[in-house]
Amino acid sequence: YYAHDKLDDFINTINSHLEPLFMQIRKGMSEDDGRPHYALVNLAETEISKMASDYTENELELFRKTMDLIILSENGFASSTDILNLADQLKTKKMKKKEAEQLLKVFVEDRLLSERNGEYTLHTRCIIEMEQYILSNYQDVARKCNICHSLAIQSLVCDSCGTGMHLPCVRRYFRAQTEPRCPQCNDVWSCDIP
């Protein structure tokens, strides 16, 4: 039996049974349209779980470098050109651009990355699964949305105080306001509201 208003309780019950297995169902939000997504996340950080991967060492290195580009960018995107240029800078083993191009397609198919018009960002699944990793390894630049308190890769930022918000959260928050103001510092919100 499924009751929509009891979904959180249902997931909490499942998570209580998954806890001894070091797993958890986590909820995230699509940064494009604000729709909720759920992912089963491995919480164990053992040497074995770190080694368990479908990717080779140099493929993982390209993914980490791609993640660097995306997270360190102003808008949460990295161009395919910039990513492909990383292929011959890998320390583990150089990769041909054609191989890197194929690997980017695999990352999109595996829902690690999303692609739009030659620009790549982290897929919702990747953000849910890697939120703790990103927050701990990119402490200076990673930010949480001021509205939903989830990791915000694609976000708008207040010019006055640096508060960041997901695009869907910005739309919802400012929907009824005639003169949008930052929820943190109360200054006029200068970014365009999508």
pLDDT in tens, 49-58: 555 577 888 8
- Of 67, 60, 113, which Cα lies nearest the Cα of 91? 60
- Of 31, 37, 74, which Cα lies nearest the Cα of 167? 31
Give the 3-state secondary structure of residue 1.
coil
- Range list of H helices, the chain: 7-18, 47-51, 57-72, 80-86, 97-109, 124-137, 167-174
pLDDT at 17 (0 to 100): 95
Q: Indicate the range of 13-17, 88-92, 102-106, 181-185 predicted with least confidence.
A: 88-92
| 6: DSSP letter | G
CA dihedral 78, 82, 87, 89 (to 10 degrees): -110
Mean of the pLDDT values across residues 95-123? Answer: 93
Mean pLDDT, the chain, integer = 87
Instruction: Indicate whether this model's pTM tops 0.85.
Output: no
- Of 160, 167, 150, which Cα lies nearest the Cα of 186? 160
Mean of the pLDDT values across residues 10-27? Answer: 92
Residue 165: pLDDT over 80: yes
Mean of the pLDDT values across residues 156-160? Answer: 87
Mean of the pLDDT values across residues 70-79? Answer: 92
Residue 93: pLDDT over 90: no
pLDDT at 1 (0 to 100): 62
**Domain over 55-122 is classified CATH 1.10.3720.10:** no
Tell whether the torsion through CA atoms of 91, 71, 96 and 47 is positive or negative. Answer: positive
Whether 142-193 and 55-122 are alike in CATH topology: the answer is: no
Provide the residue ranges of all domains of the chain, joining segments of one domain with +.
55-122, 142-193
pLDDT at 111 (0 to 100): 92
CB-based contact 113:69 (threshold 8 Å): no
pLDDT at 24 (0 to 100): 93
193 or 163: whose pLDDT is higher? Answer: 163
Band of the pLDDT at 128, cuts 50, 70, 90? very high
Residue 48: pLDDT over 70: no
Residue 103: pLDDT over 90: yes
- Of 17, 71, 10, 63, which Cα lies nearest the Cα of 38? 10
Fold of 142-193: Herpes Virus-1 (3.30.40)
